[in-house]
Chain A
Amino acid sequence: MNRFAALLEALLLTPSRNGKLRLMQEYFRSQPDPERGWALAALTGELSFAEAKPNQVRTLAAERIDPELLGWSYDFVGDLAETVSLIWPAAPATPAVVPLPSLTEIVETLRCASRTEVARLLAPWLDALDASGRWALIKLVTGSLRIGVSARLAKLALAEWSGVALDRIEEVWHGLSPPYQPLFDWLESRQPAPDIGDLPTFSPLMLAQPLEDDDLTSLDPRDYLAEWKWDGIRVQLVARDGEKRLYSRSGDDIGPAFPDILAAMPERVTLDGELLVARGGEVAPFNDLQQRLNRKTADARMLRDYPAAVRLYDILREGSEDLRGLPFAERRRRLEAWHQADGPRPALDLSPLISFASWEELRQLRDAARERGIEGLMLKRADSPYVAGRPKGPWFKWKRHALTIDAVLMYAQRGHGKRSSFYSDYTFGAWAGDTLIPVGKAYSGFTDEELRLLDRWVRNNTVQRYGPVREVTPAIVLEIAFDSVHRSTRHRSGVAMRFPRIHRIRWDKPCHEADTLEALEKLLT
């Protein structure tokens, strides 16, 4: 358990993604089975103990620790797992000798323990472990690690450590369960890849490259098919042998939050499409979809107010036939034929192809996209097989022009990791009369040289400090590019931008000439 605790602690404190990858690789390399398998389950969020509840930890702590002192400590530390791990007193005078539990022992015992047994098990473990071990144990029990590692990053660490491609790991992932012995046997070349049979697993997605302006000169429009780029999230619908799954683009199973989509799903097919909120065939703004995302379930009100739908654009598997090797045009034909035969379904429809003769014609369609609430265009080579990852050439996304406003730099915050000595996160505002109202935050879009200049300017023009944040003299105008702007009740300005980034620093422009909040509101979707 100590080694696992040390890993969690290091992951929490290491800001860089590469650093986190290295820590996980080192762990997978050095730890035995099934210890590392349980750790992988914890890191990917696949581990939960139905009978272990945060409240049991609270109750245990209250039995050992004076409630006043516990209360003040919790107020100071701000996190229950951390407070209890730090404050847990040394074991009573004559403790039964409890050997240090391994992660495996803890997991396997907790998995089949009843609620009363859990409470009885925890105390001797907390006695045997040190503060780091206690922290890790409580994190496991309470089910939220919050150490800045996504399931995908953990899988990437597996891929880099083993030399097996991430796509291949993702393909088998949903057919496996903790502690993943067949997976480790395969990754260490002791066994062939696990046979996942007909399980409804995730197929890694084919992604598009952004289209640069001069790309088109070398491309022949006759080689490509075009579709609208919908403003939702990419999903994969998988139905096999009566099992149905809805996966996000990173391979997370988001089905439980979308019972309406699961109910509308056909049998024995794998489809690729865009998850949207749609009312009577009309796509609602992304903001509406946002209400349904990052939730574990959806109640009746959510289902009624924000009805979800999927607009389909590809078919990867029909019956037992894998279609990914076919050219896109052929898959498209199969998709249409399947859809025709399957009959109409309320929450599923096809994303239409757009006919065009020249890039110029397509460009005009794209420029008009904003009026229609569409993000842009997708270009897909007619002969492209479905290849996982982001190959350069077969698929392009051609986004509509970004919107821009001129805003005034108001606050700057220090970044993390390599940027920790730089004020690199900028809050900017727009004018409402004589007052600046913060309208957004950006931390990208500038060069290293510009970052150095902005950092120096911030340090020399600070009027107030709030911890890592500095308020600066309103003087610098930032030209902010963003994809769209929406109403928001959570922001003082009443609006929220999507993907704001710094397009240019207008050192030349006086700040009173920056845009007004009213001007920004005119751009509302």
Chain B
Amino acid sequence: MSGDVILDVREMMVSFSARRAGRKYRVQAVDGVSLSLAQGEVLGIVGESGCGKTTVGRTIVGLVQPGSGTIKFKGTEMIGAGSSSLRAMRLNVRMVFQDPNASLNPRRTIGDSVAEAGDISGFFKSRAERSAAIAATLTGVGLNPSFATRYPYELSGGQRQRVGIARAILPTPSIVIADEPVSALDVSVQAQVLNLMMDLRDQLRLSMLFISHDLGVIGQISSRVAVMYMGRVVEQAGTRTVLEHPLHPYTRALVAAIPKPDPSKRILGAIETGEPPSLFTRPHGCAYAPRCPIASDRCLVDVPTLRSVGTDGRTIACHNV
């Protein structure tokens, strides 16, 4: 796999300053995350709100500055790169946002929004080429090319998210960071958009970082999953391995808490999941220890690091598994 690694993130650290009750705090949103993505691979990142999964995505596309760490695109370091080489790389690393209503400019036509990255980079040689590229991209995401002259308010939520995807794949990117791209959509539309993303993955050989809180959705589209908890990856393995045999106690709770659409498999009252942590008072030792059913004394003092376990490239950060 190492031969065709297209994105390599090492020891990413991101912190924000925040103010609570008159005191200044430093919140460590991402605490030493390392990930790698191969050409054509979809890596899912799953975790609860506040676990840092969105910050990882935003840092990779350059919307957030990391405190330390490296982000290499095809072997070239992105952090601190010169503006021209950074611009070229950014054209290859693109983002799809959760809420297409918020991410599309209501006063620009769909065509202008879709072509924006190409316009900025001077990709289009002529107006005709630009229109043709817009039309082809819209068709590629299942929209009528005539949508190019329309405005976002004229579209449904599912159509807007198709536009959100279209603007992330023109000009052809190598990596798409998709941050909860189907969470705002109804299930019937969600399935349509997921199918589209799987088609694009196959047709364009796209690599994707697919960020979601929904393990069902992640299980559908990604081949590997990284589970994040309080800024750290606690388990990473093939998707089926994680869903069918979760090892880390947090992953187990997460998988067990998915509401299964089967009334004969009721879980209410049967599982214990604990209170989520406060980002301001990070526990010593393992961040999951206060909620963990198998925590031992060691977990309260000693932060577990990722180690390889079993097959399928599984890594896990837990003392007691």
The answer on A and B forming one complex is no
